[in-house]
Structure 1
Amino acid sequence: MLSNMKRLAGLLVLLIGSILFILLMYTNVDLIPQEITKNPKRLYSNRNTFSTSRKNVASGEEFKKVLSSAFARQSKAVKVMLVGRMRTGSTFIGEILNQNRNLFYLFEPLHWIDVQKRKGLLNEWTSFKAETLKLLHDLSKCVFPSSFIHGTAMWPLARSKSKDVSPICKQSSACKKAEPDSFSKACAKVGGNIAMKFIRSDIEVLRSLVEEEHTNVKIIHLVRDPRGTANSRRSYYGKKALRLNGSLPTLGKMGLLIENNPRRMNTIPQLCQWMRNTLSYAIKRPKWLEGRYKILRYEDFSVNPLEMTEKIYKFIGLPLPTNVKEWLVSNTNSQISKKPTLFSTSRNSSYTATSWRSSLSLEEVLHVQHLCSDVMAELGYVKIYNEADLINSSVPLLTSFEFGNFIL
Structure 2
Amino acid sequence: MGNTGNFMWRGRYRRSVIVIAAVLCLLLWIESDAIQNFLTKQKYGGGIVSGVGDDVTDTKLSKRRLRVLVHARMRTGSTLTARYIASNPDFFYVYEPGHMIIEYNDMDLSQDGFDYLERIRHELVDFMHSFLHCNFTGRDYFFKSINKNGFQRYFSNITHLDLPVREADVTAICRSKPHIITKVNRLNNILFASAVLKEDDVKVIHLVRDPRGFANSRRSFRGFKDSKGGEHFTFPEKLEQDIRNYCTWLDTNYLPVKNSDSWFKENVMLIRYEDLADWPEEIVPKMYTFVRLQRNTQIQRLIKLSMKGKGQAWRLQVNIDEVKRIQDLCPDEVFRTFGYVKVHDEGQLRNTSISLVKPVTDVVNI
Structure 2 length-normalised TM: 0.78
1:386 aligns with 2:345: yes
Equivalent residue in structure 2 for 1:199, among 160, 172, 185:
185
1:262 corresponds to: none
Deviation at 1:163, TM superposition (A): 5.2
2:203 corresponds to: 218
Deviation at 1:280, TM superposition (A): 1.7
Which residues in structure 2 correspond to 1:8-407 (within 5 Å)?
Answer: 42-44=35-37, 47-48=41-42, 70-116=58-104, 119=107, 127-144=119-136, 145-160=139-154, 162=155, 164-168=157-161, 171-172=162-163, 177-191=164-178, 193-201=179-187, 202-211=189-198, 214-238=199-223, 248-250=225-227, 252-259=234-241, 267-330=242-305, 332=306, 348-350=307-309, 352-372=310-330, 373-400=332-359, 405-406=364-365
Summarize the Cα distance change of 1:41–1:320 in structure 2 as closer, same or farther, 3 Å threshold.
closer
1:65 corresponds to: none
Summarize the Cα distance change of 1:228–1:143 in structure 2 as closer, same or farther, 3 Å threshold.
same
User: How far apart in 2 are the matches of 1:233 and 1:126?
Assistant: 21
Structure 1 length-normalised TM: 0.70
The more displaced of 382-391 and 393-402 is 393-402
Task: Describe the superposition over 1:46-79 as per-residue Cα deviations: whole angstroms up to 9, x where unpaired.
Answer: 62189xxxxxxxxxxxxxxxxxx94132122011
Summarize the Cα distance change of 1:235–1:189 in structure 2 as closer, same or farther, 3 Å threshold.
same
Task: Describe the superposition over 1:104-149 as per-residue Cα deviations: whole angstroms up to 9, x where unpaired.
Answer: 12221221212345639xx986651111012101110011233311
User: How far apart in 1 are the matches of 2:351 and 2:116?
Assistant: 47
Which 5+ residue runs of structure 1 have no aligned equivalent?
22-35, 51-68, 242-247, 260-266, 333-347
Amino acid corresponding to residue 393 of structure 1 in structure 2: T
Deviation at 1:271, TM superposition (A): 0.5
Amino acid corresponding to residue 216 of structure 1 in structure 2: D
Q: Is the 8 A contact 2:98 2:186 kept in 1?
A: yes
Q: Is the 8 A contact 2:68 2:203 kept in 1?
A: yes
Deviation at 1:194, TM superposition (A): 0.5
User: How far apart in 2 are the matches of 1:209 and 1:283?
Assistant: 18
Q: What is the SS of the residue equivalent to 1:110?
A: helix
Summarize the Cα distance change of 1:113–1:146 in structure 2 as closer, same or farther, 3 Å threshold.
closer
1:264 corresponds to: none
Task: Describe the superposition over 1:195-227 as per-residue Cα deviations: whole angstroms up to 9, x where unpaired.
Answer: 11121113223312244xx31311000000010
Deviation at 1:257, TM superposition (A): 4.8
Summarize the Cα distance change of 1:210–1:370 in structure 2 as closer, same or farther, 3 Å threshold.
same
User: How far apart in 2 are the matches of 1:167 and 1:374?
Assistant: 48
Amino acid corresponding to residue 186 of structure 2 in structure 1: R
Summarize the Cα distance change of 1:76–1:353 in structure 2 as closer, same or farther, 3 Å threshold.
same
RMSD, aligned CA: 3.3
Larger radius of gyration: 2
Q: Is the 8 A contact 1:257 1:268 kept in 2?
A: yes
Summarize the Cα distance change of 1:156–1:73 in structure 2 as closer, same or farther, 3 Å threshold.
closer
Q: Is the 8 A contact 1:82 1:198 kept in 2?
A: yes
User: How far apart in 2 are the matches of 1:269 and 1:104?
Assistant: 34
User: How far apart in 1 are the matches of 2:43 and 2:81?
Assistant: 30
Summarize the Cα distance change of 1:404–1:356 in structure 2 as closer, same or farther, 3 Å threshold.
closer
Taking every aligned residue pair, what percent have the same amino acid on both sides? 25
Q: Is the 8 A contact 2:69 2:183 kept in 1?
A: yes
Summarize the Cα distance change of 1:136–1:386 in structure 2 as closer, same or farther, 3 Å threshold.
same
Q: Is the 8 A contact 1:381 1:398 kept in 2?
A: yes
Q: What is the SS of the residue equivalent to 2:183?
A: strand
Q: What is the SS of the residue equivalent to 1:281?
A: helix
User: How far apart in 1 are the matches of 2:227 and 2:67?
Assistant: 40
Deviation at 1:401, TM superposition (A): 6.5
Summarize the Cα distance change of 1:114–1:401 in structure 2 as closer, same or farther, 3 Å threshold.
farther
Amino acid corresponding to residue 256 of structure 2 in structure 1: Y
Task: Describe the superposition over 1:228-280 as per-residue Cα deviations: whole angstroms up to 9, x where unpaired.
Answer: 01111111112xx7xxxxxx433834335533xxxxxxx10011011110012
Task: Describe the superposition over 1:157-201 as per-residue Cα deviations: whole angstroms up to 9, x where unpaired.
Answer: 3223x1513223xx22xxxx211111111112222x111112111
Which 5+ residue runs of structure 2 have no aligned equivalent?
1-10, 45-56, 109-114, 229-233
Deviation at 1:41, TM superposition (A): 6.5
User: How far apart in 2 are the matches of 1:273 and 1:403?
Assistant: 25
Aligned residues: 322
